[in-house]
Structure 1
Amino acid sequence: MAAASLAAPEAEKLHKLTSAVSSLPQISDSEKSGFINLVARYLSGEAQYIDWSKIKTPTDEVVVPYDSLATVPEDSAATKALLDKLVVLKLNGGLGTTMGCTGPKSVIEVRNGLTFLDLIVIQIENLNSKYGCNVPLLLMNSFNTHDDTLKIVEKYTNSNVQIHTFNQSQYPRLVIEDFLPLPCKGQTGKDGWYPPGHGDVFPSLLNSGKLDILFSQGKEYVFVANSDNLGAIVDLKILNHLISNKNEYCMEVTPKTLADVKGGTLISYEGKVQLLEIAQVPDEHVNEFKSIEKFKIFNTNNLWVNLKAVKRLVEANALKMEIIPNPKEVDGVKVLQLETAAGAAIKFFDNAIGINVPRSRFLPVKATSDLLLVQSDLYTLEDGFVIRNPARKNPTNPSIELGPEFKKVGNFLSRFKSIPSIIELESLKVSGDVWFGSGVILKGKVTISAKSGAKLEIPDGTVLENKQINGPEGI
């Protein structure tokens, strides 16, 4: 976007910023131009608002019910041909800091001593072995996770999965006061920079040269998912549907529960399918947006995208996803990060659809409360897949709230001699200095709170059903 289309003060800001950015040696020319483009769009105040009256609920043609997908014939040659067109890409830019870990989040142990990344590699190894195909794994790192990831993937050298790593863009944080890059202010360390959200996956695929490598291997579709979503596994029915119907883009959505009311949803808008995020919703409609009656589905961030379409749109600079301004503070300096989300790209692709998938395809581990679910008897592990225990009759998982004592993975693990049985649990709330013995069984609604300054131990083999416990006498 030319500065000419900006008002004079904004054009002046952009001009100063452009010349400051051009002097930064740490980033490439494509990163510089990508960043300046993003800022120019932000300064122009591009309309982000949605005309509420034009929103329509998508039909089953636009958001396809999973049950209506054709089954893939049990013919291994046909399956191999399908899978040979596929690449799996995991978003691996996040650190495990919220769970008290250093390094990439994907190396947190999930179950049986295996990490997210181990499980992903095992799953693809099994596919490649079973069908004799070559599904490669791509990891999109950020500058925060790149070095660690390169060391970690060495352990998969002998696996039958080709692993490619590439970095997403590195953009300078903007100082809000004068709109200049933080690295120009003497902040030379990592704190001066940020990765601009997973919407950056599309230009980074092209700029890294990985896209051309994939074309040379005959690849047509990429399955993109968060590395911490244990439900995001390769699905032949979805892949088959997209290839048969020439859909350039598919977002997996799943029915909302009350825990997901803030998640983005798909709408039909001016003849196109698009993602509606809570940030775009006018204040007077926020409650309506959160209602699970009107907006019944939300985005799992499992995305299937045609690679040729990615190349076409990136080269035409056509992926102008909504900008998410993310204000932060670094050493007392107020800064701004401008980010984009990959799901928002849906409206730029031809013949884009959503598929309304079973909830089992959305099993993210964002906190230790999620880790408790996947390490418990609610799930088993088979061939790298986390499988839900059919003994659980309730289709939804128990709601779990753990106090700050459990926030870090190390503390969480030390407070359980073994993970309790929760097959019949509805909800669990734990606060204070609580420790669990082995073989504990939790059923119904359980609340455990230790008194301030007191340690509360749940003895081995305790069964708690619909109990509220405030001290040892309640057990």
Structure 2
Amino acid sequence: MLNKLVVVKLNGGLGTSMGCYGPKSVITVRNDLTFLDLTVQQIEHLNKTYKVNVPLVLMNSFNTSDDTQQVIRKYKNLNVEIHTFNQSCHPRISKDSLMPITKNCDVEKNIEAWYPPGHGDFYQSFYNSGLLTRFVKEGRDYCFISNIDNLGATVDVNILNLVLGQANEQHEFVMEVTDKTRADVKGGTLIQYENRLRLLEIAQVPKEHVEDFKSVKTFKFFNTNNLWVKLPAIERVLQQNALQLEIIVNGKSLNNGLNVIQLETAVGAAMKCFKGAVGVNVPRARFLPVKKTSDLLLVMSNLYSLKSGSLVMSPQRMFPTTPLVKLGDNHFSKVKEFLQRFANIPDLLELDHLTVSGDVTFGRGVSLKGTVIIIANHGDRIDIPSGAILENKIVSGNMRILDH
């Protein structure tokens, strides 16, 4: 079954939201390994263990393509066949005139005027690259698509069994969903509409219904963006011109103050175009995205160990949920600053909730348990001393550890 699989990682994003340059996939997340390193390790382990050849396909954007091509050279001696292709490049539209903000088609000379149109562009760009046709001819049947920054999105043979099992040939599209918590209120959800399952994103919800959409009771699941899609079915849908994706209107302000509109689509929205599309409720462990430094704190900590490129929750953690962590934007939002504030990553095994705000640093061997809130007011600084154990504590004010 694995020889019928292709693994696709969406690799179009930059690390700018975390203060990094270049593709997000080259940010170091654990043991000096990047998102891309971990992904390649996972596939190599899979290929060695089962004596198969599962190829890795990276969908880049014009922002990440050149850097990614340089990086993947280092994997050439590994047991992983890596392919890349670029998603499309669309012109940004002026909010006032509703016209493209440039007539110059040279992207490199006018990069601010262009954008990659969301991961819904995957299907057409994959087809245009020639890779889809090639894989179908090779007898490959399914692709597993996920975001490169979701460290939980590994190849699960149980799900592959579901999608490729003889009795389930009709499932052309399988979306992994997981139980929604209050931290996931903005995640896309599944709805039944016109006798079909569809993906509903928050951007498509009228303002007066946004609170209903966010309700954990009304919508119990959300989309992890881990998708299993039948390759010949993608070919059929595109050839029949049947791929109808809802357009998401995304407003942005450029550095020069110009208000622009980006028209984007989501890869999961294609669900309604395929036969027998289903959602599969998966454990939370399959959704481990690193969007902020608060996520980075969790994946770098002793909550997880690394096994063949996959993060595994420590058996010493008494409950399966991860702690809720909120780190202040001013001092922790950029990776470089974040790393400078920790002599090493604290012990989080018994942590439920952590809030840190202001100028706070952590010494070596700190242990955080239960609910810990540390707030340094403006102009104050708090240094948590090495070896400190904070359990259900609120720390505020000014606390400096002076060297004698």
TM over 0.5: yes
Contact 2:381-2:399 at 8 Å conserved across structures = no
Q: Deviations over 1:367-405 (max 9, x none)?
A: 000000011111111111100012112222111111121
Map 1:340-351 → 2, pairs under 5 A = 340-351=265-276
Match of 1:454 among 377, 380, 387: 380
TM-superposed deviation, 1:280:
2.9
Fraction of identical pairs, as percent: 58
Map 1:423-434 → 2, pairs under 5 A = 423-434=349-360
Which region of structure 1 is more displaced relative to structure 2, 169-178 or 340-349?
169-178
What is the aligned partner in structure 1 of residue 315 from structure 2?
Answer: 390
Match of 2:257 among 332, 355, 369: 332
AA matched with 1:225:
S
TM-superposed deviation, 1:284:
4.0
TM-superposed deviation, 1:282:
3.9
What is the aligned partner in structure 2 of residue 21 from structure 1?
Answer: none
3-state SS of the aligned residue for 1:229? coil
Shift of the 286–451 alpha-carbon distance from structure 1 to 2, 3 Å rule, reads closer
Shift of the 455–283 alpha-carbon distance from structure 1 to 2, 3 Å rule, reads closer
2: CA distance, partners of 1:472 / 1:280: 45
What is the aligned partner in structure 1 of residue 128 from structure 2?
Answer: 207
Match of 1:300 among 210, 219, 224: 224
TM-superposed deviation, 1:259:
0.7
TM-superposed deviation, 1:288:
2.6
3-state SS of the aligned residue for 1:159? coil
What is the aligned partner in structure 2 of residue 100 from structure 1?
Answer: 19
TM-superposed deviation, 1:333:
2.4
What is the aligned partner in structure 2 of residue 31 from structure 1?
Answer: none
Shift of the 412–316 alpha-carbon distance from structure 1 to 2, 3 Å rule, reads same
2: CA distance, partners of 1:283 / 1:315: 36
What is the aligned partner in structure 2 of residue 126 from structure 1?
Answer: 45
> Does 1:408 find its partner at 2:334?
yes
What is the aligned partner in structure 1 of residue 142 from structure 2?
Answer: 221
AA matched with 1:344:
A
Q: Deviations over 1:149-194 (max 9, x none)?
A: 0000000010110000100001111123333322217994111100
1: CA distance, partners of 2:399 / 2:295: 29
Shift of the 434–474 alpha-carbon distance from structure 1 to 2, 3 Å rule, reads closer
Which region of structure 1 is more displaced relative to structure 2, 296-305 or 215-224?
215-224
> Does 1:179 find its partner at 2:98?
yes
TM-superposed deviation, 1:474:
10
TM-superposed deviation, 1:216:
2.9
2: CA distance, partners of 1:127 / 1:473: 49
2: CA distance, partners of 1:179 / 1:281: 22
1: CA distance, partners of 2:216 / 2:277: 24
3-state SS of the aligned residue for 1:420? coil
3-state SS of the aligned residue for 1:444? strand
AA matched with 2:270:
A
What is the aligned partner in structure 2 of residue 36 from structure 1?
Answer: none
1: CA distance, partners of 2:195 / 2:399: 63
> Does 1:469 find its partner at 2:395?
yes
3-state SS of the aligned residue for 2:271? helix
- Per the normalisation by structure 2, the TM-score is 0.94
Which region of structure 1 is more displaced relative to structure 2, 143-152 or 232-241?
232-241
> Does 1:311 find its partner at 2:235?
yes
AA matched with 2:154:
I
Segments of 5+ residues of structure 2 without an aligned counterpart are: none
Segments of 5+ residues of structure 1 without an aligned counterpart are: 1-81
What is the aligned partner in structure 1 of residue 55 from structure 2?
Answer: 136
AA matched with 2:325:
I
3-state SS of the aligned residue for 2:103? helix
2: CA distance, partners of 1:124 / 1:283: 42
TM-superposed deviation, 1:291:
1.8
What is the aligned partner in structure 1 of residue 369 from structure 2?
Answer: 443
3-state SS of the aligned residue for 2:17? helix
More helix by share: 1
3-state SS of the aligned residue for 2:102? helix
3-state SS of the aligned residue for 1:189? helix
3-state SS of the aligned residue for 2:251? strand
